[in-house]
Structure 1
Amino acid sequence: MQTRFLGQQQQPVSSIGLGCMGMSEFYGASDDAESLRTLARALELGINFFDSADTYGHGHNESLLGRFLKEGGAARRQQVVIASKFGIVREQGKYERRIDNSPAYIRQACEASLRRLGVEQIDLYYCHRRNPEVPIEEMMGALAQLVAAGKVRQIGLSEVSAATLRQAGAVHPVAAVQSEYSLWTREAEREMLATCAELGTTFVAYSPLGRAFLTGAVHSEQLAEDDFRKHNPHCGGIAQPGRTRRTRPVVRLRTGGRGAQAWWASNKASGGGGARRPRLSPDCGGQMGVLRCLYGLVATSGTGLS
């Protein structure tokens, strides 16, 4: 397993990370026992970068990851690099959401995540979505206080502009920016990749396999009704036919997404597959192949390779 380095602290992480969102919701039914086996299999393969958020399953996802860490004891905690997020607030059983970046909420959310994860420090703590009504200085100031208190190791931002990254970095170093990036979603190439490289910020790309569509194993019409991709215009509807035509040559080259993985690997990106089942294998040129349960990858770039 190759290694990347996360943020200005150059914290080593596996070149493939595991996105845990689908273990709690959005991609159809899930099973905790199966999810725990998936986490164990990922760690066995050398994957140590696990991505969660407080909004995934209304805290369930962090609790599940906390259970996995507890079962492995102190040694497992030392192995795993945990990324989590705050900022998306939802009511139980509802998808509607509001965005909260207020300092008071950030402190409250961090404490709740620490409890669910059962850890003293979150390795990478993202603002999941930005609320421009809260000045960036206030939000980053609150996060900087969490770093000073030892509750957060490094700060990240998700789905922001290059200008916002610069503004935030003027207050406190931003270790990582997370945005969608794949063969069919390439907006990050306009400004963000270059800005991250300039500032020493790790770019973390989620869904490098196009939410599994680039594996050729997923088609919108076959998805369950409770799989959000079935009704997401980004994944289906009028967008899907054109994207399918553009990406079909890559899909034909793949086994479990090899063509798409080779593309971002050639861009010095690392990746992590979101999975709900322990069907992980040391595939794809030493990377990880996920047969049918890939929903997204966490890929890091611009941070060096060993």
Structure 2
Amino acid sequence: MPPVKDLIFKDPYVDAARTKVLSDGSMNYVVDMYDTALKETISKLKQADKLVRAKDTALNRKTSEFKAMIDKAAVEQSQLLEEKKAQKEKFVDKFGDLKGKHLKEINRLRDSRSYEVTHERVRVQMAMIVKFNKRFTEIRNLETRRSDFEMARSLQSQAFGTEPTGRDLEGLPVQEQGNVSEVEGTEDTSGPTTAPAVPNSASAPVNLTVREESSAPTLGVSDEDPTLPLGEDGAGLDPEDLVEPSVSSAEEDGGDKSNEQAPASKPQGAEEDLGESSAQEQGNVDEVENPTDSTADGTGGISDPLGAQVIRENLDRAED
């Protein structure tokens, strides 16, 4: 190509060439811009890929760590459960043995308590039986020793109010009734007021009246006012009048009892004592009924102190 100065259309060519160069430069500039943007994008993608890889690595590491921790916790939990199960079985066995021992001890204590209560109940019952047998034996012996005369004396005492009757004993407590029966047993076994039975049923009540007259309030004699009771006309009563009602009532009671009960059999020595005591008491009654026979030599012939006192008071009143 000839030089530019030799060209005919020099100026247009120069313009066209300049324009072409300028257009090529513009094109290159655009290409460079694309190339630069592409390179930047590629570098960014590489960096993002590296970041993703790093994140994936960290996530995998964390996941593996978490998985290891979960597996470890599961293993520990399973071991703990196994230990708890073993401990529970051990405690169940131990508590089962203790429960059996406890039940045995409770049953033993209950059985021993029942045995003690039963033994105590039997002991109390045996003591009551022994006590009742002793009491019944005493009553049986007392009834065995009781004779017809003692029965008549009891009836006479109840009739004159010197001995409590069954109606009076009903209002007393059981202990006082036992005391009254003990006093009766003591009086029956003491001797001075008890006289054996005699064959003559009429003389026995008379003798009983003479001996029991000291405690009977029918005479009306006391230390404070030594006066005899007055009759219907105001005059003093004689000893005969005082003794005869008791004798008659005693004879009636004795006659009824003699018809109902037969005299008990006594040994020979006892019969002799009965004869002597009945003779002595009959003499006392005769002396009381006939006081004029013993006034000659004082009161020496009277053995009954009550009869002597009555006669002495009668004599003093006669002298006044």
TM over 0.5: no
| More strand as a share of residues | 1
Report TM bin, short chain: under 0.3
Point out the structure with max Rg over C-alpha. 2
| TM-score computed with the length of structure 1 as normaliser | 0.20
TM-score w.r.t. the length of structure 2 is: 0.20
Q: State the structure with bigger RCO (CA 8 A, min sep 6), 1 or 2.
A: 1
